[in-house]
């Protein structure tokens, strides 16, 4: 056995010294130290050695094993150092070259407008609430006084996920979810994405809306007019003209559309060159949002006493505000990810 061990020592050290790369080194390690390696096989035959010789043979075998492992580790370090030196020599970095400037990211113009609107209402005492983008039919329609056979459902071309699940067509379901879980007084806005089957220069299948509502005792239409007029003047400027027109929404009664004086022509109906204003179509007014007093039927769905509580609700499109603020005529520009357009904001 001594002769076998000395031979393995000689062969192993010689093979390791000849290894030119890490793959050859690993192959040599397995040949001598692996589970089926030569040195391992000799050690397994130790029980066949006469008992008197076992201590000396065991000591020699362990000495050879340590020697081979140390040589293996030393050669591995040398190969790693050589590989690193070669890499540094071939991939030199000239630190005197100018760096590459990465463009700074910006908040998307729609999110800028949404954050500004949210900030205005928060400053007026409103809190922010959120809800799921995939809604059930009850919260998106039924509880908002829009039963299954109501013609108002035709006003909102809906994306159906299943028979009873839809991509929400407005953020008004958040109003229902908040009122189901809490009692008045409530002053809440609900910003978020909504989905309808619209796609043209002024409509998108995905857009953003901010629903707001205020419920308490003795809330009147005067409160609605005061809050919305103040919001519009903070957003568009203190000189902004505001008017309310009768309208219809299933979940408010009475309901009103809110207009502002045209921001493009200043309410004159004509552009600077005398041509008809393309934004207000010579009317001097631009529709901006819908609003109204919350219908008592809605309070019935959430268990509120309509004799005690009253409230108003409103909904405004973020894209609509942005288009008017920046004079943009095509809503699709917001979604094309054209950096030439987005850098302007």
Structure letter (DSSP) for residue 175: H
Q: Where are the beta strands (DSSP E) in 89-185?
A: 127-128, 134-136, 165-167
Cα 253 to Cα 274: distance, rounded to the nearest angstrom: 40
Cis amide bond preceding 255, omega within 30: no
Tell me the pLDDT band of 66, cut-offs 50, 70 and 90: confident
> Is beta strand 242-249 parallel, antiparallel or unpaired with respect to 252-261?
antiparallel
pLDDT, mean of residues 271-278: 77
**288 burial via Cβ count (<10 Å: 0-12, 13-18, 19+):** buried
pTM summary value: 0.68
Mean model confidence pLDDT for the chain: 87
**How many angstroms from the chain centroid is the CA of residue 211?**
20
Q: Which pLDDT belongs to residue 200?
A: 64
Per DSSP, which regions of the chain are E strands? 127-128, 134-136, 165-167, 186-195, 206-217, 242-249, 252-261, 285-294, 309-317
Q: Which two tokens stand for residue 14?
A: 């010689």
Per-residue pLDDT tens digits for 123-151 = 999 999 999 999 999 999 999 998 887 77
A 10 A CB-CB count for 154 gives: 8
Domain ranges of the chain: 2-90, 109-342
State the sign of the Cα–Cα–Cα–Cα dihedral 71, 72, 73, 74: positive
Please count the residues of the chain: 345
Q: What confidence tens digit (pLDDT) does each residue in 152-172 have?
A: 666 557 888 888 899 999 999
Would you identify the CATH topology of the domain 109-342? BirA Bifunctional Protein; domain 2 (3.30.930)
30 strand-pairing partners = none
Mean pLDDT over 283-291 rounds to: 91
Average pLDDT over every residue of 105-123: 94
Report d(CA 312, CA 301) in Å as an integer. 16
User: Partners of 191 in the beta sheet?
Assistant: 210
User: How would you class 73 by CB atoms within 10 Å of its CB: exposed for 0-12, middle for 13-18, buried for 19 or more?
Assistant: exposed
Report residue 1's pLDDT band, with 50, 70 and 90 as the boundaries: low
Q: State how far the Cα of 111 lies from the Cα of 340, in Å rounded to an integer.
A: 18
The single-letter DSSP state of residue 67 is H
Q: What is the pLDDT of residues 205-246, one digit of tens each?
A: 889 999 999 999 999 999 999 999 999 999 999 999 999 999
- How deeply is 90 buried, as exposed, middle or buried, from its count of CB atoms within 10 A (0-12, 13-18, 19+)? exposed
Q: 269 or 192: whose pLDDT is higher?
A: 192
Give one DSSP letter per residue of 195-209, joined into a string.
Answer: E-S--BTTB-SEEEE
| 3 state DSSP class of 275 | coil
Q: Give ∠ CA 115-121-124 in degrees, rounded to 5.
A: 145
Lowest mean pLDDT among 46-50, 257-261, 290-294: 46-50
Q: Name the burial class of residue 32, with classes exposed (0-12), middle (13-18) and buried (19+) by CB atoms within 10 angstroms of its CB.
A: buried
Question: What is the mean pLDDT of the segment spanning 296-310?
Answer: 96
End-to-end CA distance of the chain: 84
Chain centroid to CA 112: how far?
A: 15
Q: Which tokens belong to 150?
A: 């109501």
Instruction: Residue 46: name the closest of 34, 56, 37, 36 by CA.
Output: 56
Long-range pairs, 35-39, Cβ under 8 A, ≥24: 38/8, 38/11, 38/12, 39/5, 39/8, 39/12, 39/64, 39/65, 39/68
């Amino acid at each position: 056995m001594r002769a076998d061990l000395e031979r393995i020592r000689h062969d192993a050290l010689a093979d390791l010294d000849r290894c030119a790369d890490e793959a050859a080194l690993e192959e040599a390690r397995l040949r001598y130290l692996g589970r089926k390696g030569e040195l391992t096989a000799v050690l397994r035959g130790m029980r066949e050695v006469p008992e008197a010789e076992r201590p000396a043979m065991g000591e020699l075998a362990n000495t050879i094993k340590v020697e081979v492992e140390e040589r293996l580790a030393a050669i591995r370090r040398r190969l790693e150092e050589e590989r690193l030196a070669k890499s540094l020599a071939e991939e030199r970095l000239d630190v005197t070259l100018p760096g590459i400037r990465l463009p700074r990211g910006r908040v998307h113009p729609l999110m800028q407008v949404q954050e500004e609107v949210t900030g205005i209402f928060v400053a007026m005492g409103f809190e922010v609430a959120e809800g799921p983008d995939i809604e059930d039919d009850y919260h998106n329609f039924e509880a908002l006084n829009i039963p299954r056979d109501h013609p108002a459902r035709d006003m909102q071309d809906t994306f159906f996920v299943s028979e009873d699940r839809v991509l929400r067509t407005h953020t008004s379901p958040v109003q229902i979810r908040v009122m189901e879980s809490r009692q008045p007084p409530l002053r809440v806005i609900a910003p978020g994405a909504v989905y309808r089957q619209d796609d043209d220069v002024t409509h998108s299948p995905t857009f953003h809306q901010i629903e707001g509502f205020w419920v308490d005792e003795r809330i009147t239409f005067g409160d609605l007019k005061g809050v919305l007029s103040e919001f519009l003047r903070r957003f568009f400027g203190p000189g902004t003209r505001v008017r309310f027109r009768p309208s219809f929404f299933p979940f408010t009664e009475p309901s009103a559309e809110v207009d502002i004086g045209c921001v493009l022509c200043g309410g004159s109906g004509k552009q600077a060159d005398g041509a008809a204003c393309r934004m207000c179509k010579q009317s001097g007014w631009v529709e901006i949002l819908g609003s109204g007093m919350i219908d008592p039927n809605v309070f019935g769905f959430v268990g509120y006493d309509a004799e005690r509580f009253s409230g108003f609700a409103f909904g405004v499109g973020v894209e609509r505000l942005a288009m008017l603020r920046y004079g943009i005529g095509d809503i699709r520009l917001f979604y094309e990810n054209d950096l030439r357009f987005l850098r302007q904001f």
